[in-house]
Amino acid sequence: MPESWSSKNKPPQRAELPLTPGYVYDPVFLEHDTGDHPENARRLEAIITGLDAKFIRQQLKSMPARPATLDELTAIHQAEYVKRIEAFCQNGGGSWDADTVMSKGSYKAALYAAGGCIAAVEAVVKKVIPSAYALVRPPGHHATSNNAMGFCLFNNVAIAASYALKKFKMERVLIIDFDVHHGNGTQEAFAHNPYVLYVSTHQYPLFPGTGHLNEVGQSSGAGTAINIPLPAGCGDNEYKQVFDEIIVPAAQRFKPELILVSAGYDGHWADDLSNMRLTLDGYYYLTRIIQQLAAELCGGRTVFCLEGGYNLQVLSCAVNATFNLWLGEKLLDDPLGQPPYKSSPRGVIELIAEVKKRHGLY
């Protein structure tokens, strides 16, 4: 029988993916006791309370967290550094540096945060769930191979990406980092690695000081770091332009097998740790773009890893909106609305043009 006839009469391929998105959460994350620090256990409590208030959690698949193994951690961190963190916490913790605080329970929480992100990746790649949000703490994207900094102990997203490369022999993992700070640790982890494309939007200059547009990766990783260092005062319009003009074409060119997201909500206008002007509607737009990219490029496979975000209302509403989007409900609850005053940051159009030119995105 002619080829064309037989192929025409095959039953239409049905989507194999189940519709229920997943999440990773474990009360062990609350044992990272930082007291009155902005990165505290109340952040996750607010997220979970917010999900339950809207009956969202019961619609999701709960994926158990597990501790990352030493092998998994040392894909990114030096073994000696892991031991130092363990010993520091065993001795009761304290201030590691001016920003980063640990308690006795922090080591265990950090092991589970990294392992929780791995569990989310594993479930998504094995198609147990189409997408997942790892609601973890401590956050990770500032943690370097041999140091904790910026509230981060182990680099959860980098450890999860490395796991995807090794365990599933992936060759193209995209990390989108929309936390308002540059993920210096993640960039460092994959600076020489052509299999991970790291794309970051961040306020610049701001902590940790890295993320200049000239930082593009090194040696065989050259071109696989795309930094979009935005001036203070950027809001929804500027972020939309950046996503539409840089991140979408860069992702389409890279053709990822998996998209990981360093999701931080500290660029919201009501967050005290930055001077950006994003709204919840703006975050919703970015999340939708990422969802569309994942659907177009990698069968929807997306794992969000929680990074920063210190306004509890913003955190709760943004995470609710992400799950609602994944559940197909398109609901956005935005009690905070627009920033109280307008701002017009300068040089964003020129910056976008420069980044596009630097990375050959036309």
In terms of Cβ atoms closer than 10 Å to its own Cβ (0-12, 13-18, 19+), residue 3 is exposed
Nearer to Zn ion (CB atom), residue 172 or residue 181: 181
When asked if residue 359 is in the footprint of Zn ion (CB under 5 A), the reply is no
Could you tell me how many residues of this chain bind Zn ion (CB under 5 A)? 5
Verify whether residue 142 is a known catalytic residue: yes
Q: In what order do the strands lie in the sheet with 225-230?
A: 61-63, 22-24, 131-134, 302-306, 258-263, 173-177, 196-203, 225-230
Tokens found for residue 203:
């306020």
Nearer to Zn ion (CB atom), residue 185 or residue 308: 308
| Closest residue to bound Zn ion by CB | 308
Give the x-and-dash track for 153-192 against Zn ion (CB under 5 A).
--------------------------x-x-----------
When asked if residue 266 is in the footprint of Zn ion (CB under 5 A), the reply is yes
Give the x-and-dash track for 120-159 against Zn ion (CB under 5 A).
----------------------------------------
* Nearest Cα residue to 132 out of 197, 55, 60, 47: 60
Find the catalytic residue in 32, 142, 202, 268: 142
When asked if residue 308 is in the footprint of Zn ion (CB under 5 A), the reply is yes
Please state the closest distance from residue 262 (CB atom) to Zn ion, in A: 9
When asked if residue 217 is in the footprint of Zn ion (CB under 5 A), the reply is no
Tokens found for residue 342:
């307008």
Mapping DSSP to helix (H, G, I), strand (E, B) and coil, where does residue 104 land?
coil
Give how far the C-alpha of residue 30 lies from the chain's centroid of Cα atoms, to the nearest Å.
Answer: 20
Tokens found for residue 41:
């256990």
Residues 6+ away with beta carbon under 8 Å from 7: none
Please state the closest distance from residue 162 (CB atom) to Zn ion, in A: 21
Binding part of the chain for Zn ion, among 29-37, 108-116, 208-216, 265-273 by CB under 5 A, reads: 265-273
CA pseudo-torsion sign 72, 103, 140, 315: positive
Binding part of the chain for Zn ion, among 77-85, 164-172, 234-242, 308-316 by CB under 5 A, reads: 308-316
Strands 94-95 and 101-102: antiparallel
Q: Which of 185, 264, 267, 300 binds Zn ion (CB under 5 A)?
A: 264
Phi, psi of 33 (to 5 degrees): -95, 110
When asked if residue 229 is in the footprint of Zn ion (CB under 5 A), the reply is no
Please state the closest distance from residue 154 (CB atom) to Zn ion, in A: 16
Positions in the binding site for Zn ion (CB under 5 A) = 179, 181, 264, 266, 308
Q: Which residues are catalytic?
A: 142
